[in-house]
Amino acid sequence: MEPLISMGVLALIGAAATIAGASEDLESDVGSQSNANSQVQLAPQMGYVHRIYNKAIAGEPVSNGMMCTIGATGALVLIKHFGFSPLFALVIGALIAAMVHGSYSVTAIMGREASQARFKQPIYLDLIRSHTPVIMAFAFLTTFSVEVVSYLMVYALAHPFPFVLLSFLWGVVVGSVGSATGDVHLGAERQFQQQPFGEGLNASQSGSIVRKAESGLRNGIDNLWFCSKFGGPMTGVSFGMVVFLGTWIILVFDPAKGNVEGWLSNLLGVVIVIVLCIWNWHIEKETREKYGPFKEDKVEEVSA
């Protein structure tokens, strides 16, 4: 393929990946999946009964990997066996995945809340009715976007992996990225807004999640509203970077042309990594200077 067209396809892949990352994080925020779920699960045991959707079907990477595999399998069957147009098939595949994900979400919250009956945690049926469609909508978006990424990679950029396998792999990676980035915004900030801003969660405050909203009791959609301002889009940027940069270095220096190009593409990747490392160090330096230490240095006080 012409390098310029490849770059265009890659730009589309990057955009789809960004949407996939953002929707993946927001899906896990509504349902409080992933690491921050430990606090939602712990809260009733500490006496804090809440109205937050509590589902953790599996770890985020595995759950998303399964969703994307189901979607891609459905889409591929429709394309190969029934002759559907790819775009239509990808949408139906994502729809099937969203429905499966919705059913898992309902069984997850029912099971989790029922097991906490001894801590007086109710099962709010209205919560399940209002949140599950939102979760399914985000699951649909994630699956569709990951399918688009994989489809374009396999059929436009000639990636050697089978379409379904590549969807599974990118599903696991989007879960891994979402769990490592956006969920911090939910877990460390949104769920503990009554704690002072600018410090980590004191271990003694574990389980003491915020249960009251701006109006009424807080639920998963309130968390979604907050996290969609920063955590969600940032996760999108992160997954977009993973997909875009990882493929871009191979497009700029095509390893098919020879070993020198192959090594140059690897070198370009190393340069990107070093730049990101320096940026991280710069943020570390900046925040240390701006935010200042939490404690006084007693040794220096004595010597002064």
Partner 1 sequence: MIDIVGLIAPNILWILAIVIGGTLISISVHFISVGGAPAAMAQATGIGTGTVMLAAGAGIAGIIAAGAVMDLNQDLGVVLGAGGVGAMVMLAATMIVGTWIYAYGVGVMPVSAKVKYDPITKYRQDLYVSQGTEGHGIPTVAFVSSLIGGLLGGFGAALAYYALMKVGTYAYAGVTPLAVHDLNLVGVVAAFTIGFFFINSVIPSYNIVGTIEGFHDPKFKRWPKAAVASFLASIPLGIVAVIAVGALALVGGL
Q: Within positions 37 to 56, which residues make up the interface with partner 1, using CB under 8 A? A: 38-39
Would you call 212 helix, strand, or coil by DSSP?
Answer: strand
Min CB(279)–partner 1 separation in Å: 6
**Selection from 29, 19, 21, 20 nearest residue 226 by Cα:** 29
Longest C-alpha distance within the chain, in Å? 81
The interface region with partner 1, picked from 104-112, 116-124, 131-139, 289-297 by CB under 8 A, is: 289-297
For position 68 contacting partner 1 by CB under 8 A, the verdict is no
x-marked contacts with partner 1 along 127-156 as a string, rule CB under 8 A: ------------------------------
For position 123 contacting partner 1 by CB under 8 A, the verdict is no
Q: Is 83 exposed, middle or buried (0-12, 13-18, 19+ CB in 10 A)?
A: exposed
**Selection from 262, 267, 269, 278 nearest residue 246 by Cα:** 269
For position 80 contacting partner 1 by CB under 8 A, the verdict is no
**Selection from 106, 96, 90 nearest residue 70 by Cα:** 96
Min CB(185)–partner 1 separation in Å: 5
Length in residues, the chain:
304
For position 303 contacting partner 1 by CB under 8 A, the verdict is no
Closest to partner 1 by CB, 117 or 275: 275
Closest to partner 1 by CB, 115 or 199: 199
Closest to partner 1 by CB, 133 or 258: 258
Over the Cα atoms of the chain, what is R_g?
22
